[in-house]
Amino acid sequence: MRQHERPGLGKVTIMPSVTRHEQAGFTLLEPLIAMLIISIAAMGLAALVTRNMQQSVLSHERSMAVSQASSLMEQLWAGLCTLPEQGFVTIESQWREQMRLSMDNSLRHANWEAAPLRHSLMDDQLFYRVEAEISWGGKEPSSRHQVNLVTMLPRVTCS
């Protein structure tokens, strides 16, 4: 270091220029830390993409289950006049057969099953409360998903 006297400024210290031999370069540690940070970020991104795909498949399966339960309810509405004679069991068995034969049913490959249709008379025997339950997923109860659809059907007499 050299000091110079400047008029009006006083003593000024001038740093000598650093030669090439005095500079410190990158060590092997800096690239390793950078690679570690990048690999952790890449693993987090891969986990996020995987979880997103799983949720997308689950959303599709849930939509298919709701669609199938709605289809059953529509068939019950269509057969409202014949419910007392034909019964819920006949319409439900026809619906199950349609589900079994349906080639576009993605739930068939997801181990789907429909619980027996539950129905009961309510409000002084004026309405049927009907509940359809569709479940799918793994064999263990904790890995299964389900959709319940409940509707009220009027009890009618048709001539």
Give the mean model confidence (pLDDT) for residues 12-23.
61
The predicted pLDDT at position 68 comes to 83
Return the bridge partners of 114, or none.
134
Q: Which residues contact 118 (CB under 8 A, 6 or more apart)?
A: 130, 131, 133
Least confident window among 32-36, 59-63, 121-125, 131-135: 121-125
At residue 20, does pLDDT exceed 60? no
Q: Angle at Cα 106 formed by Cα 87 and Cα 136, nearest 5°? A: 70
- Could you state, in order of their start, the residue ranges of all structural domains in the chain? 40-154
* pLDDT reading at 104 higher than 80: no
Contact between 154 and 129 (Cβ < 8 Å): no
Please state the separation of Cα 49 from the chain's center in Å: 12
Model confidence at 133, in pLDDT bands (50, 70, 90)?
A: confident
Looking at the whole model, is its pTM more than 0.75? no
| Structure token pair of residue 103 | 């080639």
